[in-house]
A and B are shown apart, each in its own frame.
Chain A
Amino acid sequence: MPDLVTELGIDVLFKGTNFLRLLGGLWSALSISLIAVAISIPLGIIMGVLMTSKSRIIKAILRVYLEIIRIMPQLVLLFLMFFGTTRAFGWDISGETASVIVFALWGTAEMGDLVRGALISIPKHQYESSEALGMTSAQTYLYIIIPQTVRRLIPLSINLITRMIKTTSLVLMIGVVEVLKVAQQIIEANRMTSPNVAFGIYLTVFVLYFLACWPISLLAKYLEKKWS
């Protein structure tokens, strides 16, 4: 093995199924965000529309919900869901389930705010001119409002997805076996044989997360430029 590779501890990657295990760990983190995103988008849209409704009560409740989720560090929310529900309701939910629930709640709140922002940024005269042209409310939404909203939303939503992917690294702290946990296991196993394994493995994890997030953020930037 070339010296540099051993020096950097990367040789461990090639042993057995180590690399695959790391990827598996990354996948388990990513799948949490994917599921959460899938739930957040429809729920978030509904919430966003509700936030522009006329009812003050609904707006207030949703606003409070948003602010609470936003001000708490995500890890605290994870703790609350994971440890708190066991105590409060006697449930025994897994780390994965707790994570999905928390991320879905977070994602819905953020998405709702994004949708609300996009909806109110559409100037009133758009609604009025379509009415003047004789379009019904549904047609106005379908042909005028929604296309514009979608354009504004997509780059921002992609940005939210990137943030979610990064935050899934936290699920390590409530016991979910994801990439960092796998990394720790590999390092433990190889500590004696390969002194610099910690460096190499964590560097790999670093690069893996970067490769997971960066293309998505590039896509967001590209779309933003294209559509602005």
Chain B
Amino acid sequence: MKGCDGMDGEVIMSYLPLYGEAALLTVKLGVIGIVFAIIVGLFCSIIQYYKVPVVRRIVSVYIEISRNTPLLVQLFFIFYGLPRLGIPTDAETCGIAGLAFLGGSYMAEAFRSGLESVDKIQTESAYSLGMNRLQTMRYVILPQAMSVSIPAFVANVIFLLKETSVFSAISLMDLMFTAKDLMGMDHNTVECLFLLVSFYLLILLPISIVGTVVERRMRRAGFGN
């Protein structure tokens, strides 16, 4: 029963598994990409914190480039451009690499502000006890820095998950791709768009709520005294 105003429940049911699969792909690529982004970000922020001579410049340049170019362009470059140089990449790796490249600089910024919020005297106390740089960073600075970084970190996670919506441009069968494909085939625009919005809400709303809760908890615990 198709109407202009109403939605056909049967159509929705038949599309569900397709959307479900697509959502899983989105989440999978998103999570892997975010993990790599965190690694890159951690590395960059620590380099900047310790002001390591040459690497620091490279990191700054990377951050400027990554923050001033859209993910879509980065993906096109990696996916269509690089293979010409003999660097083969499949779509999934590309997507992850793009997220890691873009996300790394955002995570670096979040971590950097956390690291800088830790009082210098904490570092000095640790050194006085005979701890070396690595131990100090691991046991004293990072734990304190993390709580300050959390709001920005959660914002970045949500941002990066939203950015995965461009993966369809390199033919990855994510939610956008599925929606466009199905709309083109059967023209059930309303149902397709409805499912598209629903699935994204399904992925993003929980994280957003968790983020707000965590932020409130951290503030209540009086962290960062």
Contacts and interface: CB of A to CB of B under 8 A. Distances in A.
Question: Quick check: do A and B touch in the complex, using CB within 8 A?
Answer: yes
A187 B82 CA distance: 14
Given A75-B166, A173-B176, A84 B189 contact: yes
A198 to B, nearest CB: 5
Contacts of B80: 187, 198, 202
B193 A83 contact: yes
Nearest to A198: B80
A63 B69 CA distance: 30
Given A79-B193, A80-B193, A198-B84, A170 B72 contact: yes
A76 to B, nearest CB: 6
Contacts of A196: 84-85
Interface in A194-228: 195-196, 198-199, 201-203, 205-206, 209-210, 213-214, 217
Which of B81, B85, B166 gathers most chain A CB within 10 Å? B81
Interface residues of A, number: 38
B15 interface: no
Q: Is the interface of B mostly helix, strand, loop or mixed?
A: helix
Interface string B35-66: 00000000000000000000000000000110
Given A172-B169, A199-B85, A205-B76, A210 B190 contact: no
A162 interface: yes
Interface residues of B, number: 39
A202 B77 contact: yes
Nearest to B201: A71
B140 to A, nearest CB: 30
A140 interface: no
A80 B197 contact: yes
Interface string B170-183: 00000010011001
Contact of A210 (B65, B162, B183): B65
16 contacts: A71-B158, A71-B205, A72-B197, A73-B200, A79-B176, A79-B193, A79-B196, A83-B193, A87-B193, A172-B72, A183-B76, A195-B84, A198-B84, A202-B80, A203-B77, A210-B65
